[in-house]
Every structure is written in C-alpha cells, then in structure tokens.
A and B are shown apart, each in its own frame.
Chain A
Amino acid sequence: MKYLFPRIANHAFMILFSFIMLYPVFWWIGASLKTVPEMSLPTIWPSEPMWSNYTEGWQFSRKYTFAHFFKNNLIMEFFNVIGGIICSSLVAFGFARVKFKFQNILFGILLLTMMLPMQVTIVPQYILYNTFGFVDSYVPLILPHFIGGSAFFIFLVVQFIRGIPRDLDEAAKIDGASIFGIYYRVILPLIKPALVTVAIFTFIWSWDDFFAQVLYLSSVDNFTVGLALRMFIDQFDIQWGQLLAMSLLSIVPSTIIFFLAQKHFVEGIATTGLKG
C-alpha cells in the first residue's frame, strides 16, 4: 500500500510526458480539418470539421490526384525493401559465416562507410546517373538498395547471425549442404526477425529520403508524395488546410507499418544491434 502513491505519480508523469511528445501529432490531426484562422489555436478538435481539406487536397491538380504519388512511392518502396532484404542477408552471411581473404579489412571498410558524409559522393553519383540517362527515373533511388544498400543494415544482420550457433552450420555441412544451402536453408529462416527490422527501416527511411527524391526526380509524373507536398509549399498562397491534411496522409504508411511491427521496431536494434 505504501508504494501506491509513487506508482500513481510515476504513471501520471509518464502519461503527461507521452502526451507532450505526441501533442504536435494530435494537433496535426485536428488542424488538418481546420480553417486557417482556427489553426492558430492550440485546441485539437475543430469547431466545424473541414473535410474538404482532404477531398480538395487529394485532387492535387487537374491531371494528378495524390493516388498517383502514393502509387509511385509504394512501387519504389516495394523494390527497395526486396533489395534491402536480399542484399543485406547475402552480404551479412558472407561476412559472418564464410572465411575469405581480406575479410577483416573489407568489413572494416564497410563500417567506415557508415561514417562517410553522403555529400562527398553525391556529385559524382549524380553525374554518373546523368551520363547513363537515369536522372528522372527511379533507378538512382532503387539501385543502391540492391548493391550494398545501407552498411548499417548489413552490420545489423551480421551481428544477428553471429548470435546463431555455428553447430547448426556444421550439422548441415555433414548432411551434405552446400555453402549456399547453409545460407538458404539454415540461416535465412533464422534471421527473419532481423530481416523484418531491415525491411521496416528500409521502407521508412527511403520513404523519408527526401534529398535523393529532390535530386533525381524532376517530372511531376514521377513525383513521390514528399515532392508533391513540396509543390504545395512552393505556391505563393499556401493552402495550409490541404497541405496539413495531405502531409498527415503521407505518414500513414509508415505509421501502419510501425504499429504492425511495433515490437520488432523498438526491440529490433535492442536485441540485434549492439552486442559487438
């Protein structure tokens, strides 16, 4: 009984803190239904919901609705996630389970690339893609996920594989499994949790990777959701209601994935990432 008060105080504090953290999001939801004058109020729910913010915002221009931009983005994400999973599992298996020459040096280089500011490579990369005529296509956005992707993901999966007993590999070897068989039949099924983490992060990070989108996509037909939002702001008279409504919709895919895989997401790094 004597611990009751601290416990209530504890919860009260956590609820208050969560509320403060989430308040901008709550306000955002309300504001997407507000008129512009009402937006300057900190109240959450509007006096009279303006659903037209959504219908008019969705009807982006005469030629495009937001459905088009969402479709573009989702197709791109589909390939990115596939690429991220294939690439990080193959490469991580190679580093964690196969012995080859210069392995340690190469792994060191891989870790080093995590610390490299992307600005150093961006200009020549742009020139490279430009030379091959890939600017204003999804190639520069998708291709990197198939060749290398993020060093961070590879590192994550390597750490995860290192936690799997090598006895399993040995047993499979005795049963006559090839090295690819060990990867495909033994390790791949076991690293699913890590690959889920990779898939989620790949989706959310490349959805948000505005810099690459700004750089490589130029025609409205190819625009992603982020770029479409950006066009709203460029207008002289920003339609804030519509802009906030569409911005809110733009975070829906990431939010759904976050809640579906919430456990993986928050614990993914916690259980796999940083034992090294």
Chain B
Amino acid sequence: MAELTTSKPSSRGFFRRKKKSDENNLAGYLFISPWLIGFLLLTLWPITQSFYLSLTDYPLIADPNWVGTENYKRIFTSDDTFIKSLKVTFTFVFIAVPLKLAFSLGVAMLLNRSMRGLNAYRTMIYFPSIIGTSVAVSVLWRNMFGVDGYINGVLSWFGVQGMGWISHPDTALGTLILLDTWQFGSTMVIFLAGLKQIPQEMYEAASVDGAGKIRKFFSITIPMLSPVMFFNLVLQTIQSFQMFTAVFVITQGGPVNSTYVYAYFLYEKAFRHFQMGYASALAWILLVIVAILTAINFLASRYWVFYESGGRK
C-alpha cells in the first residue's frame, strides 16, 4: 500500500505531492471498491435495466419484447388495482408517518429526563422495535387482532362487541398502522440523540426569561430538533412506501383489497404473475412518486428546518 512519508527533502516537494495525490486516488478507490462494485452491480445497472424493462413485455421465460410506453398507458388508463393500491398506500403513509413521528418524539422526550431506572424503561420501550418487521411479529398481530384474538377479549370487559379487525375492510389498514406505530423505536432513538444535543443552557436561559414548558417546547425544542425531525420524516416516508412483510403475512392485501399496498402489488405482478416489464414500470412510478415527495419535503424544509449556523447541512 502507499507509503506516506513526510521526511523527503522539500526540493522534491512538487513531484512528491503529485505522486502522493495519485497514490491517494488509488488507495481511496481501493478502500471504497466494495461499495463501488456493489453500487454499479446492484444499483446503477439494475436501475437502468429496470427502466429498459419497463418499456417491454417480459414474462421471464421468454426474451423481453419491446412495447414502448404500453405498460405505462395500461397502468394509468385501465388498471383499477393501481389506483386502489395508490390510495391505500397514500392513506397508510399519510396517517402512519405523522403518527409514528409524533409518538416517538413524545416518548423520546419522556426518556430524555434524569430519573432512576431510565435505562430499564428505555430497554423495555425499545424492545418491540428490535423484533421489528419479522414474520413472528406479524403472526402475533394476526392472532391478537383476529376475531378470537385477545384484543376482543379485553374489549368485551368494557362491553364492547369485538370484531375481526384484520378481516374487516374498514379496520384492517388501521390495524397495520397500529403495528407500524408500535415499532417506533429507531425513530425514537434518533429523536433522543437529537434531544441530547440541545444545550441545556438554552432552557435555563429561557427559564430565567420566564418561559413556561409549552413555550420552551415550541421555541427551543422544535427548532433545535427540526433537522433530526426532517431526517426522520424523509426516511419514514420512504420506508412506509415499501411496507411489505406485515401485508404479506397478515392480510395478503385483503380484505377486499383494503390493505393492498403498492409494494405488495408490485411483488404480485413481478413474482406471482411474472410480468417483469409491467412490474418494472410500477417500480419506476414508485421511484418518481418517492422522488417527488422527497423533493417536496426538501423544499418545504426551508421554511421549518432550522440549522444552527445558517447554511449548515
């Protein structure tokens, strides 16, 4: 590997610098080569390939057959499932993301105090999130919210007539949103990290000026936390569009397509019906939607995200 000695005579400085920068290029690219190869092979090439496939009819067992914009035309004009799954997905994203962010911020603030046993509480509260999006948790949820699930058992104590929460079209999506919110841990940890970086002096100074708790929250916590909030918002939005395991295990898109989210729709087209071209077109539409939403988030962030030193990113 490149030797980087600093004791060469200064008269050879020019050559040395030239050589050094070359060597660093090589070393740099060697170090990042695992990622670079992965990026070219598993990201860049597939994206371009996916765009090409979206303009073809490709049943996997035969060669791709060029159809131009036919897939897109069909998706936008004659595929009712597309509209339906977009509606379901947007409903999920627009309810689950704010809910999860608000909830995890609240819990993060609860956990950002000095009290005994805080570590234990933090561990317990975080626990549901480490078992994450696994099949096991989906299985649990499916049982809990079934007709004979214990949720209905609890409700019957209060004289409420239970129902099949996951088998009823009005409540199935809500049940999945609840599951998503229950696993708020990673969002919460990121908020907690952000909260810990707010200088305590700011709160003290505000106290001296007579600011109450609510005032401090809106004038200090929210602005200081806004970059972290923005980070969470962007990441959660993107992730919510890809919700899959819970739908696959719990509802399979049903009942009556009420949980037929976009990622599941795409999976079925590609790997159950083997319409690879059509699925690629769906994937590109997803990419455009996510890109637009992310761009909106970034543009809107100018008005509410506050960076300490002005232009810091």
Contacts and interface: CB of A to CB of B under 8 A. Distances in A.
Query: Interface residues of B toward A: which range?
Result: 35 or more
Contacts of A11: 115-117
Interface residues of A, number: 101
Best-buried of B23, B39, B125, B143 by chain A (most CB within 10 Å): B143
Most central of B29, B150, B248 by chain A CB within 10 Å: B150
A120 B46 CA distance: 8
Given A110-B35, A124-B45, A273-B190, A233 B286 contact: no
Contacts of A178: 1-4
B135 A148 contact: no
B224 interface: no
Given A144-B42, A148-B37, A173-B6, A41 B153 contact: yes
Nearest to B124: A18
A264 to B, nearest CB: 12
Interface stretch (A47-55, A58-66, A243-251): A243-251
A119 interface: yes
Interface stretch (B65-73, B90-98, B191-199, B212-220): B191-199
B292 interface: no
A208 B248 CA distance: 13
Contacts of A271: 193
B280 to A, nearest CB: 5
B287 A18 contact: no
Contacts of A24: 128, 140, 144, 182
A117 B290 contact: yes
B266 interface: yes
Contacts of B172: none
B134 A210 contact: yes
B181 to A, nearest CB: 11
B2 A247 contact: no
B231 to A, nearest CB: 7
B162 to A, nearest CB: 9
From DSSP, what is the main secondary structure of chain A's interface residues? helix
Contacts of B122: 266
A177 B3 CA distance: 7
A91 B286 CA distance: 29
Interface in B197-242: 197, 228, 231, 234-235, 238, 241-242
A78 interface: no
Contacts of A117: 238, 241-242, 283, 286-287, 290
A3 B134 CA distance: 43
Contacts of B125: 17-18, 21
A178 B241 CA distance: 45
B270 interface: yes
Contacts of B46: 120-125, 128
A91 B32 contact: yes
A273 B49 CA distance: 33
B32 A106 contact: yes
Nearest to A273: B193
B280 A123 contact: yes
Nearest to B126: A266
Contacts of A120: 46-47, 50, 283-284, 286-287
Interface in A93-121: 93-95, 98-101, 103, 106, 109-110, 113-121
A121 B266 CA distance: 12
A215 B245 CA distance: 12
A207 B32 contact: no
Nearest to B234: A115
Nearest to A14: B121
Contacts of B3: 176, 178
Interface in B126-184: 126-128, 130-137, 139-140, 142-144, 148-150, 152-154, 182
Top 4 nearest A-B pairs (CB, nearest first) are A148-B38, A94-B31, A100-B28, A147-B38
Interface of B: 1-7, 21, 23-25, 27-32, 34-39, 41-43, 45-47, 49-50, 53, 60, 110, 115-117, 121-128, 130-137, 139-140, 142-144, 148-150, 152-154, 182, 186, 189-190, 192-194, 196-197, 228, 231, 234-235, 238, 241-242, 244-245, 248-249, 263, 266-267, 270-271, 276, 279-280, 282-284, 286-287, 290, 294
Given A120-B46, A121-B42, 13 more contacts: A22-B127, A39-B143, A39-B149, A93-B31, A94-B32, A124-B46, A148-B43, A173-B5, A178-B2, A226-B134, A233-B139, A240-B143, A262-B123
15 contacts: A7-B115, A93-B31, A100-B24, A100-B29, A122-B46, A126-B270, A128-B46, A147-B35, A173-B4, A174-B6, A208-B245, A210-B248, A255-B130, A262-B123, A269-B186
